[in-house]
Amino acid sequence: MLSTMQDVPLTVTRILVHGTLVHGTSQITTWTGDAQQPQRRSFAETGARAVQLANALRDEIGIDGDQRVATLMWNNAEHVEAYFAVPSMGAVLHTLNLRLPAEQLVWIVNHAADRAIIVNGSLLPLLAPLLPDLPTVEHVVVSGPGDRSLLDGCAPRVHEYEDLIAGRPTTYDWPEIDERQAAALCYTSGTTGEPKGVVYSHRSIYLHSMQVNTAQSMGLTDTDTSLVVVPQFHVNAWGLPHATFMSGINMLMPDRFLQPAPLAEMIEQEKPSHAAAVPTIWQGLLAEVTAHPRDLSSMKRVTIGGAACPPALMEAYDKLGVRLCHAWGMTETSPLGTNSNPPAGLSAEEEWPYRVSQGRFPVGVEARLAGPGGEIVPWDGESAGELEVRGPWIAGAYFGGANGEDFRPSDKFSDDGWLKTGDVGIISRDGYLTLTDRAKDVIKSGGEWISSVDLENAIMAHPAVAEAAVVAVPDRKWGERPLATVVLKEGQSVGCDELKDFLARSVAKWQLPERWAIVPSVPKTSVGKFDKKVIRKQYADGQLDTTTL
C-alpha cells in the first residue's frame, strides 16, 4: 500500500524560494572592516541576486548541466548567493578551501574538473599562480576589491561579479531536479593521502538543514542572528546558510576579518545571539576580551566543533555569560552528527558531564561502536570502540573524479556500508557520545591506551596555558609514550616540571608525559585542528626543544 502524499522533491531551490518569499526581511550583514558601514542585504535581495547569478552562469558562462562551479571566497553575502544559485540551476557548487597548500588546491580543482571559479578579489594572489595548471577552468568571476592585474596573461575569461549579474532577469525557470542529484562538493583536508571528495545531494542538504533547525540542535529562529565564523568552504559552513534561509535566522558574516579584535568589535556592535566556530577561534577571542574588555552579553550560545573543546574554555565563557555547546561531525556527515544539549531538569553541576561530551545523536544519525576486532560493543558508557555512523546526510562513498567511479575504501566504510569515522569513544545508554581520541592519535603505551585529548584538556586547565597538544612518540620500553607540547599565555612563565605536577592531580601516574616542549604555537590544519603529524615529524627531526622529566 502506497501513501497518498504528494511526491515533492526536497531541493536547495525550494529552500531558496522559501527564504526569499517567507523570510525576505531577514538580513545578511557582511563585515567590511568599517564598523560604520557593514554591508546589509535582505534575504529578498539575496534571493533576487542569486537568480541573476544563475541567469549569468547559464547565459554568459555556459553552465547548462551538472558542471562544477567553484568558489574561492570568504564568508559573505555573495558567497551565499552562489550557495543557492549554482545548485538550484542543476549545477554543482564546489567550495575551495583557501587554506590548503597550492598543490592540493590544483589537485582538487582538476579532480573535480571545475568549469568556473568565483573568487574574492583579496584572494587573487592565491588563485592567479595556480591558473596555468587548471586546464578545465574557462572562466574566473571576481567579486570585491583586489588587484585584477594579477590575472593578466594567466587567466581565461575574466568577469566582474557585479557587472556579470547587473541587469539580468530576477526570474528563472528553475528545473525540477531529482532530490538525489548532486548539489555541492567538498573535499576533506587531505591529512592522510590525497583529499577525498564528498558530494552532497539536494535531499541530504534539505534534511540536514531541518536537523540544524530543531530545538535539540542549534534551536534558532528568525529572532536570532548567527555569527557564521566557520568557513563556507568547510562543510557548507556547518549547514548554516541553508538552515537560515529555511527558518529566517539572520546571518552576520565576518568576510576576511577573522582576527580576535574585529570579531570582538562585530559582536559588540551587531549583537549576534549565536555563533559557530572551532575552539581555536574562541581561545583567541577570550584572550582578546580579557586584555581589552568588550560586551559579549548578546551572544548567549556558541556551537563549537571541529575539535574537542577544553572544559576550562567552557568555564571561562560561562563566567562571561556565553554558553559553549559541543557538536561533533565531519565532512562526510554534512557535518552535524551530535549536539550536546543536556537532558531537562538538571542542575548546572549535573549538566556538566553532558556538556563536556560530544552530545546526543539526532534522529537520522544511527551510530555504533566497533571494538578492536570489529565486534560491535554496547552503549554502556564504558565500552570503547571506533564510531561508525549512517544516515540520510552521511556519505556512502567518495567522488571518483570527473572520469572515475565513486569509491569506498575499506578503511573508511564497513562491508555493510557504515562510515568509519576514525574517532574512538564511548556512548552512554541514553545516546551521549564522548570521544576519547582519533584512532590514529591514541597513545598505545605498554598494552594500554592513553587519550591524548584527556591529557590536553587537563593541561589546558592550568591558568598559564593557552594551548596544549599531545602526541605519541616512540619509546623503547613502552612502545609509545606521550609528548606534551604547550603554548603559554602572553606574559606567563611556567616550567615543565610544574606543568607535570599540575597534571598529576588529575590523571594516573603512568599516563604522565615524560617529554615536554614549550612552543610558540601549535601547528594547525586548514580547518583549525591541531596538526599532530607535523608535531610528530618535528620531534623525529629533532626540531623541538624537548625537556625529559
Catalytic residue among 30, 188, 333, 485: 188
Catalytic residue among 78, 265, 288, 332: 332
Among 294, 283, 295, 281, residue whose Cα is nearest residue 228: 281
SS3 481: strand
Burial 299-311 (b: 16+ CB within 10 A, else e): bebbbbbbbbbbb
Beta bridge partners of 541: none
Catalytic residue among 449, 500, 524, 547: 449
Per DSSP, 57 falls in state I
Helices of type H across 176-278: 202-212, 235-238, 240-247, 260-270
List, edge to edge, every strand of the sheet that includes 479-488.
465-475, 479-488, 515-518, 547-548
Identify whether 188 is a catalytic site residue. Answer: yes
Among 74, 83, 97, 84, residue whose Cα is nearest residue 253: 74
Per DSSP, 511 falls in state G
d(CA 237, CA 253): 11
For 199, residues 6+ apart whose C-beta sits below 8 A from its C-beta are 92, 182, 184, 185, 395, 399
CA within 13 Å, CB half, 82: 31
Identify whether 332 is a catalytic site residue. Answer: yes
d(CA 425, CA 162): 49
For 513, residues 6+ apart whose C-beta sits below 8 A from its C-beta are 455, 470, 481, 482, 483, 484, 500, 503
d(CA 95, CA 232): 7
- 508, burial (CB in 10 Å: exposed 0-12, middle 13-18, buried 19+): exposed
CB 278 within 8 A of CB 305: yes
Per DSSP, 214 falls in state S
H or E element, residue 467: strand 465-475
Residues listed for the chain: 549
Among 16, 20, 24, 28, residue whose Cα is nearest residue 254: 28
Can you read off the three cell numbers belonging to residue 458? 587537563
Among 126, 128, 163, residue whose Cα is nearest residue 143: 163
CB 25 within 8 A of CB 44: yes
Q: Which amino acid is at 477?
A: K
Catalytic residue among 444, 448, 498, 537: 444
Q: Which amino acid is at 344?
A: A
Q: Which residues are catalytic?
A: 188, 332, 444, 449
